[in-house]
Amino acid sequence: MFDYQAPQDLLKDRVILITGAGDGIGRACALSSAAHGATVVLIGRTPSKLEAVYDEIEASGFPQPALCPLNLETALEKDYLDLADQLFDTFGKLDGLVHNAALLGPRTMLDNVKAEAWLQLMQVNVNAPFLLSKSMMPLLRAAPDASVVCVSSSVGRKGKAFWGPYAVSKFALEGMMQVFAEEQEGTSAIRFNSLNPGATRTSMRAAAYPGEAPETNPEPGQIMPAFLYLLGPDSKTVNGQALDAQ
Ligand code: NDP
């Protein structure tokens, strides 16, 4: 496991946006960030799941989160720009952006993948992180040391048979991270890195490995040290890196 002990107030006064915050790793990231002092902006497509995370954060006495239901599959550039305006009016800055939401999509030979499934997956896993990053740049520039975390996968670093458009989308996300990172190096205080969670006990993992006993893998809460490290000031000088949470 990534060796990092986060101080309790690590993310105090930071505003951190997390996509796919209603379930799995995104939910754990929202809860853990809030527990370390951050005001979290919860983005996801299922309002009831986001509301449950919101309530859990409030009940724990952590900073009051912001709840923003948004379907990344259908959102248009204007929706991202409107979100940026809202966040600018409320917070004036964004210290952290976690591109976590993703679809697993069809796991089959690439030449069997239906065009519609390919396009749908690319919209959520690649186009949405691009449009969201682009629209949030002014807010990220307004923060003293903003961190963008692209949640990747081992199959986005080394291609693997039958991982379909999912693997290709994670390569694209890694590529986007590297280009942004190099462009921002020396010109802004924004850092871009990718993080591979490794096998983690979520519904996506269960869908990818139906025969596996879920207990084999750590729970999302257990892989949070790497997320906290990348979101907090201790990683200020880390830019353009591909990290592993386990
Ligand atoms: P889950 O499927 O458990 O969670 C994915 C989240 O993304 C859900 O909250 C889901 O919302 C949200 N989401 C999906 N589609 C959309 C959409 N169109 N608009 C908005 N939100 C959407 O997956 P994990 O927690 O396992 O995965 C999180 C990240 O970690 C992903 O990027 C994944 O690729 C990566 N990863 C996971 C691994 C693992 O072992 N779990 C291993 C390697 C990488 P809803 O709940 O409403 O459907």
Catalytic site residue 166?
A: yes
Domain ranges of the chain: 15-244
How confident is the model over 219-233, as pLDDT tens digits? 999 999 999 999 999
Ligand 1 atom with the shortest distance to the CA of 198 = 42
Query: Which residue, 133, 125, 112, is CA-closest to 190?
Result: 133
> 206 CA to middle of ligand 1, Å?
12
Residue 18 near ligand 1, beta carbon < 6 Å = no
> 187 CA to middle of ligand 1, Å?
32
Partner residues linked to 16 by β-bridges = 40, 96
Query: Which residue, 229, 228, 122, 230, is CA-closest to 176?
Result: 122
Q: Which CATH number fits domain 15-244: 3.30.1130.10, 3.40.50.720, 3.90.1200.10, 3.90.950.10?
A: 3.40.50.720
> 24 CA to middle of ligand 1, Å?
7
Q: With a threshold of 0.90, tell me whether the complex ipTM lies above it.
A: yes
How confident is the model over 84-127, as pLDDT tens digits? 999 999 999 999 999 999 999 999 999 999 999 999 999 999 99
